[in-house]
Structure formats: structure tokens, C-alpha cells
Amino acid sequence: MAHPHALINPAMLRWARGRVGLDVSEAATAVGVKPEQFQRWEEGDSQPTFRQAQQVANALHAPFGYFFLNEAPAEEPVLPDLRTVGGAPAGKPSVDLTETVQHAMQRQAWFVEYLQDQGAQPLPFVGRFNTSANVVKVAQDIRTVLKVDIEQGQRSWETYYRELIEAAERAGVLVMRSGIVGNNTRRKLDVGEFRGFAISHPLAPVVFINSADAPSARLFTLLHELAHIWLGSSGISNVAPGGTRREEIASNAIAGEFLAPTDIFAKLWAAGAQDIAVRVAELAHGFHVSRFVVIRRALDLGLVSQATYSAFYRAELDAFRTEEGGGGSFYRNAGAKNSARFARAVIAEAFSGRLLLRDAGRLLGVQPSKIRDFAGQLGA
């Protein structure tokens, strides 16, 4: 029996392929057909079967129904794009980035409704300052809300990073971290495209950190995105040095001041070893941050060149990519991806019977049958 053909619009097939940045050969490989076949579909000389059309939709990350439209729907940016490259606005966000932002916003929307049902009050620190506020004052306010002191080498920077995330969640911020789109390990997020984003909201602000970045760089991104929340600013960031957007300039300055206050940093830098690598290591130990944070702070204060900073950052990222492997525990990654605070709320609602396990699994990206195991790993 012949399979029925899907009467798709060839123009929409070309649109979907261009949207993910693939040429005909790459798209054909993703679908599992020969390039000549895919080309005929695009030109309207033949039609795929319904099964093939569904495979095309999956491979090109496009809704199946779109292929039957007369023209592509307008896709408005879901968040302000604060990224700059060489002082100019960055290109259009990729499908992977767009879907990641949408996933975060869906989780946030559920959590906002959950908090409203609980009678939660707005968080006083969200939007407490604006971009012209004194950087030192904003950084100190973040420390006060998170209940942390200026770091003086008490812990490793990994511990510091973890404890800051936990403190932010206790304060009411949902901190989400992932290096892939959803659970799809083949769709890795590009650190060259973005480092993180913030979604400001008076009840449930969200901070997302791209885990594809070098671990040592994520600490700065965390504080950069938290600064956005204190400024009441939402947006996608690449945390680029020398950015031209007011929100990015202010957030970079606040993050740097929080992690390494200017007056203390400048004195230690001036008194440090002659060898810059040794000096960076000394200050990293003294501030209990990574070498990346130190070299980034030195760049922002005009103490090293852009070339020196770039060399340090590339070395950190290359080392991370070389050592990366295994992916870690699925449940631990799921907790990070969702925000532990959000995950515990979803699990509590599911266990109480107020939320179907099916819906809880969809929100968490976990099989409904595995939610109890996930809860055990999370300590919920």
C-alpha cells in the first residue's frame, strides 16, 4: 500500500531549512534522504510522505503544521537581545537559543501562577536600581540580599559558585543551567552565541546560565545575570567585554564589583608578582574566585589588554572542552536545568495530587515514572 503524500508548501520547507542554517545536503542528511530527493521537495517536483514530512519537521525543529501554511509566521524575539559583536547588535538568535528561552519562560509562567496561589508577595530587590545607579551600592545590596560577604579565599571558587546559586534560590531567583536544548544531547548550546539570559519578574525572576561555557566563566555570568534582575532588566547576554548596551555595561560592572571590589583589587594587583600568570593565580586565591574572573576584572579596569584577556579565556574554554565527558548524573543535570526551587515546587504539587504526574514530567523534562527517583536525588 502506497503511503499518502503530504501536500506541503515548498516555500515553507525552504524557510524551515534556512531558519536552522543548513544547506540542502546537511538537511537531507538530518532527515535521512538523498540531497537530490530533498531538492525535489523544495522545488515542488515531488512531495514527501506524511512520515517523511514529520521527520523533516523533527530534523529542522519546526512545527509540523507550518509546512502547510502559505507563508511563514512572524517570529518576534521573546526577550530583548542585548548581545553585541564588535559594538554592533548580534545576529538573529538561533532556533536552539529561542527554544531554550521559551522553555524557561514556560517554567516561569507555571511558577508565577503557583506563587500567586500561595499568596506570595513581590520580591523587593527586583528592579530596585536602574542603570545609572552606583555600582558599589548595587553590588553591596546583592551581597546583603544573598547574605554573603566579600570573598577572601575561604572556599574554592566551585564551592563559592554553588553556594551563590543556593543563596539566589533562597532569595527567590530561579537559577537554571544547561548546555543543551531540553534533554537533547545532540543540540548543544553555542557559548559563542550567548552566555546567559535573565527574565525579570517581581515574583519569580529567572537567571539562565549556558553550561557549555567554561566552568570558571560561569561565576561571572551568574553575577552578571543577577545584576540584570536587580536592574529589573530582561535580556539575552553574551557578557561581552566592551559591550555598548547600557544594561550590559552596568551588569558587567556590578558583577565585577561584587566578585572583586575595585579598591581592594587594584591594590592587590599593583602589589602582585611580576609574572602575570602568577599574579592572576595569587588574586584568584585571595578573592576565592577563578583565574577567569581575575583576568576579566583586570580587563574591565584597564589593567590588561583585550588580547591578554582573550588568550586566558580561550585557554580556559579549551581546557574545559578537552576534559568534558560523561555528562554527569541525569537527575543532577535535571535539577540544574529546572532550578532546584522550581523542581521542588512541581514535585510537591505532583505528590499532593494537585498536578498530574504527566504534567509534572512535562514541566521537569523527566519521565512521569521517574519523578519519584528524581525527587529522591533532589532531596524533595
Which is higher by pLDDT, 373 or 83?
Answer: 373
Which is higher by pLDDT, 119 or 292?
Answer: 119
Q: Identify the helix (H) or strand (E) that includes residue 186.
A: strand 184-188
Q: Of 314, 290, 329, 318, which is closest to residue 161 (Cα–Cα)?
A: 290
Q: Which amino acid is at 218?
A: R
What pLDDT shows up at residue 137? Answer: 96
Q: Which CATH class is domain 10-68?
A: mainly alpha
What confidence category does residue 28 fall into, taking pLDDT thresholds of 50, 70 and 90? Answer: confident
Q: What cell numbers appear for 338 in the block?
A: 529546572
Q: What cell numbers appear for 59 in the block?
A: 530534523
What pLDDT shows up at residue 1? Answer: 45
Domain residue ranges of the chain, discontinuous segments joined by + = 10-68, 84-323, 330-378
Q: What cell numbers appear for 107 in the block?
A: 517554567
Mean pLDDT throughout 146-160?
76
* CB-CB contact of 129 with 141 (8 Å): yes
Q: What cell numbers appear for 245 in the block?
A: 548596551
pLDDT tens for each residue of 360-372: 888 888 888 888 8
Q: Which amino acid is at 91?
A: G
Please state, in angstroms and as integers, the Cα–Cα distance from residue 315 to each residue in 66, 212, 308, 312, following that order.
43, 15, 11, 5
- Strand ranges across the sheet with 196-199: 174-178, 206-210, 196-199, 235-237
pLDDT tens for each residue of 271-302: 888 888 899 888 888 777 778 888 888 998 89
DSSP SS3 for 192: coil
Which is higher by pLDDT, 95 or 72?
Answer: 95
- Is the model's pLDDT at 85 over the cut of 70? no
What confidence category does residue 3 fall into, taking pLDDT thresholds of 50, 70 and 90? Answer: low
Mean pLDDT throughout 161-190?
91
Which is higher by pLDDT, 150 or 227?
Answer: 227
Strands 84-85 and 184-188 turn out to be unpaired
| Alpha carbon distance 188, 177 (integer Å) | 13
Mean pLDDT throughout 129-154?
88
Mean pLDDT throughout 9-21?
82
* CB-CB contact of 289 with 219 (8 Å): yes
| Alpha carbon distance 228, 219 (integer Å) | 15
**Whats the size of the chain, residue-wise?**
380
- Is the model's pLDDT at 23 over the cut of 80? yes
How many C-beta atoms surround the C-beta of residue 270 within 10 A? Answer: 9
**Mean pLDDT, all residues of the chain:** 85
Phi, psi of 132, deg, nearest 5: -95, 5
Q: What sign does the CA torsion over 156, 160, 161, 166 have?
A: positive
What pLDDT shows up at residue 90? Answer: 67
What pLDDT shows up at residue 370? Answer: 87
Mean pLDDT throughout 55-75?
81
